[in-house]
Amino acid sequence: MKAKIHKMSDYMKNNPKKILFVGITGVVVIVAVVLAFFLLKGKNQEEVLKDYLHDMGIEFYENLYYKQVGKTDEDRKEFLTKFTDIGIKINLDSLSRYNIESNQEKISAFKNPKTNEACNKDNSKVIIYPKEPYGQKDYRVEIQLDCGFESK
């Protein structure tokens, strides 16, 4: 046994670069495993649904609503200035009828996984707050999700 310890000691003295390499590799592997754990854990269901609602609301606003509120940029600006403080509310029920092919899978996900209860389609909504200069992408977004998730 003493001979093995002596040989290991000699190996460490003769190969410090290898020992350093093994140590650094071990630290890198540990860091990678920790990062992978947090990245793979991902978002919880509430965050996923908020992202879905956000994306569907933006698509609805930019591709349909904005284009229909006026024929010119000046008309749109005049109309949208009325909503800078109160916002344009688009509920999940309305979004479920827009772009059905693209949104159908997302809409079916709107339920609380713990209770299996569907989200309230009237109270779950996107609120778009237009802002200057009132272009197609000039807005702030707020999400309200009513799915029975516990407040944090």
Contacts of 99 (CB under 8 A, 6+ apart): 56, 59, 60
Q: Which of 11-15, 38-42, 114-118, 141-145 has the lowest mean pLDDT?
A: 38-42
pLDDT tens figures, 66-108: 999 999 999 999 999 999 999 999 999 999 999 888 888 899 9
Tell whether 28 and 101 lie within a shared domain: no
Tell whether 36 and 49 lie within a shared domain: no
Range of the domain at 28: 2-41
Tell whether 98 and 59 lie within a shared domain: yes
Give backbone dihedrals phi and psi of 76, rounded to 5 degrees, phi first. Answer: -65, -45
pLDDT, residue 53, reads 96
pLDDT tens figures, 97-136: 998 888 888 999 999 888 888 999 999 999 999 999 999 9
For residue 151, tell me if it sits in a domain. no
When divided into structural domains, the chain yields a total of 2
Percentage of residues of the chain with pLDDT beyond 70: 73
Two tokens at 53? Answer: 């609602």
Q: pTM for the full model?
A: 0.69
In this structure, are residues 90 and 125 in contact, taking their beta carbons and an 8 Å threshold?
A: yes
Measured CA to CA, the distance from residue 63 to residue 108 in angstroms comes to 22
